[in-house]
Amino acid sequence: MLIHLDFQSDIPIYLQLKMQIIEGIATGKLKPGESLPSVRQFAEDLGINLHTVNKTYNLLKQDGFILVHRQKGVVVNPDEGPKVTEEYLTQLHTELRPMIIEAFCRGMSKEEFNKICSQIFLELKEKGEG
């Protein structure tokens, strides 16, 4: 799986890495039980700090996307991954709110906004099936 990090972005590297791993899982590029590089290896491959990879892995582990085995190393959760929890819904609301505020302020209707979201959902579905 190819990781592309944008060092100019306002989005911190550990979050970019997290989202790309989740995208890999979502689209089936990363299979349940599949191994991920060790912290050291990943940091070296991507030219980033060990702590950054560690932070990403800790968040993914905390959310249940990956498991960290003492022997097998880092693997994609072989069972069903995380679901929609109350905690996740709260987080999603917090993240969406500023975006919707700006859209609202620019005069975008909720129908237009939802159309964009639906398109992204569709793209992901097609990627997963492709």
| 4 counts as binding a copy of itself under rule CB under 8 A | no
Q: Under the criterion CB under 8 A, does residue 50 sit at the interface with a copy of itself?
A: no
Give the separation between CA 85 and CA 109, rounded to whole angstroms: 28
Binding residue for a copy of itself, selected from 4, 84, 129, 130, defined by CB under 8 A: 84
Which residues contact residue 30 at a Cβ distance below 8 angstroms, ignoring those fewer than 6 apart? 1, 21, 24, 36, 76
C-beta of 30 vs 74, nearer to a copy of itself: 30
The region of 19-27, 35-43, 46-54, 66-74 touching a copy of itself under the rule CB under 8 A is: 19-27
- Token pair for residue 53? 């990879």
- Among positions 89-108, residues that touch a copy of itself (CB under 8 A) are 89, 92-93, 95-108
- Determine, following the binding rule CB under 8 A, whether residue 1 of this chain makes contact with a copy of itself: no
DSSP letter at 16 equals H
What span, in angstroms and rounded, lies between the C-alpha atoms of 97 and 114? 14
In the structure, how many helices (H) and strands (E) does the chain have? 5, 2
Q: Interface residues with a copy of itself (CB under 8 A)?
A: 10-12, 15, 19, 22-23, 25-26, 65, 81-84, 88-89, 92-93, 95-108, 110, 112-114, 116-118, 120-122, 124-125
